[in-house]
Amino acid sequence: MQQATHIFTGSGSIKAFEAFIREAPNKYSSIFILTDTNTRKHCLPVLSNTLWFPESAVILEVAPGEKSKSFFSCTRLWSEMAMHGADRQSLLICLGGGVVCDLGGFVASTFQRGINFVYLPTSLLAQVDAAIGGKTGVNLGNLKNYVGTFSEPRAIFIFTKFLLSLHFEELLSGFAEVIKHALLSSEKIFYKLAGRFPDIQSVRECRNWDAVVSQSANIKSKVVKADFHEKGLRKILNFGHTVGHAFESHSLENGSHPLPHGYAVAMGLIVEMILSVRRAGLDEQFYNKISDYLLSLFPFYFFEPDEISEIIRLMGFDKKNQSGEIKMVLMQSPGDFLTNVTCLKQEIEFCLNQYLEMGERHTP
């Protein structure tokens, strides 16, 4: 069931969480905090050193990374909670990146048919994307996010201070979603963002993410509010992801170092914009500007021309596809998108070849 979730951002979020946590022992029978090893080390002290925290809160921990989004973790966490006397009036606080939010949201929404939970997202990706929109879930073996629920947390408290301990690769990866959200919104917002972050150094050196995160989170939140169960508009959030996921899977099959999700999405945005110029009337000059911008921030993803058919095969696994046809989200102009566009394999092949030609110009 959808419930109204309040998203607290900016300087007000710490005050809002302080009030929430003070009240929590009166409202909830027990309090659990789910972390991963990194967020327990880097983020939990940021809270407990500055805020009053109930001593009785039970800390749960999983290993960092995607592997923790599993049934094994769920069973362990449900059991630990049961062992500590959790009941339907308990609260789960999820303190972590997208993995902890997706996993914790799923564990809470299924434990005794659903207990209250809140998110304190700690990575840039989780603050602008994963924590927002009520999708919880775990992987089924290699099948990503195959089992899950649509369940909204009671509240989302976004502290951008957490981002200061985030590894730069993770920060940049989340920044790809920030760029995507700007494109989903308007040309003005995209140029404002690109002006604020003209190069990679400006992303690395940013110490105050409040305004950027709050705007980006708001863009996603508005889309989700209009279409919670992803029947139509919400699909635009997949822009860049059909090709991006295929690049991610391809790198996993072939490389020793898997391509970070956001890096794959950034390259996916470029390919899907090439398609958008051909099929949706996206202005070519605007496309050139965005692709130059993306290539100034993210490394080019190289592959051989004879691997294109494998990449297209991987695109066939996308959840948006229907009856064996590849369905894409294409951009007509910033803020104006087409969903469910059937794209032929030959067309995609042409665009991937065009993408590779750009790579020749960007060879390090």
- Residues that bind ligand NAD in the complex, under the rule CB under 6 A: 36, 38-39, 42-43, 64-66, 69, 96-100, 102, 122-123, 125-126, 129-130, 133, 135, 145, 162, 165-166, 170
Q: Toward ligand NAD, which CB reaches closer, 30 or 35?
A: 35
CB of 106 to ligand NAD, least distance (A): 10
Contact predicate 250/303, CB 8 Å: yes
Residues contacting 345, CB < 8 A, separation 6+: 312, 326
Q: Toward ligand NAD, which CB reaches closer, 33 or 280?
A: 33
Q: Toward ligand NAD, which CB reaches closer, 125 or 277?
A: 125
Q: Toward ligand NAD, which CB reaches closer, 166 or 343?
A: 166
CB of 129 to ligand NAD, least distance (A): 4
H/E segment holding residue 62:
strand 58-62
CB of 234 to ligand NAD, least distance (A): 10
CB of 172 to ligand NAD, least distance (A): 11
CB of 74 to ligand NAD, least distance (A): 14
Q: Produce one character per residue of 336-346: b if its CB has 16 or more CB atoms within 10 Å, e if not.
A: ebbbebebeee
Contact predicate 128/178, CB 8 Å: yes
Q: Toward ligand NAD, which CB reaches closer, 132 or 270?
A: 132
Of 160, 126, 153, 112, which is closest to residue 36 (Cα–Cα)?
126
Separation of CA 72 from chain center = 23
Separation between Cα atoms, residue 302 and residue 266, nearest integer Å: 13
Q: What are the tokens at 168?
A: 């730069």
Contact predicate 207/162, CB 8 Å: no
CB of 357 to ligand NAD, least distance (A): 30
CB of 105 to ligand NAD, least distance (A): 8
Chain position whose Cβ is nearest to ligand NAD: 98
Of 330, 354, 331, which is closest to residue 342 (Cα–Cα)?
330
In order, the DSSP letters of 133-149 are: SSEEEEEETTEEEEEEE
CB of 224 to ligand NAD, least distance (A): 9
Separation between Cα atoms, residue 217 and residue 152, nearest integer Å: 15
Contact predicate 26/79, CB 8 Å: no
Q: Toward ligand NAD, which CB reaches closer, 129 or 272?
A: 129
At 156, give phi and psi (nearest 5°): -125, 125
Q: Toward ligand NAD, which CB reaches closer, 177 or 272?
A: 177
Q: Toward ligand NAD, which CB reaches closer, 166 or 184?
A: 166
CB of 229 to ligand NAD, least distance (A): 13
Q: Toward ligand NAD, which CB reaches closer, 178 or 282?
A: 178
Separation between Cα atoms, residue 1 and residue 109, nearest integer Å: 10
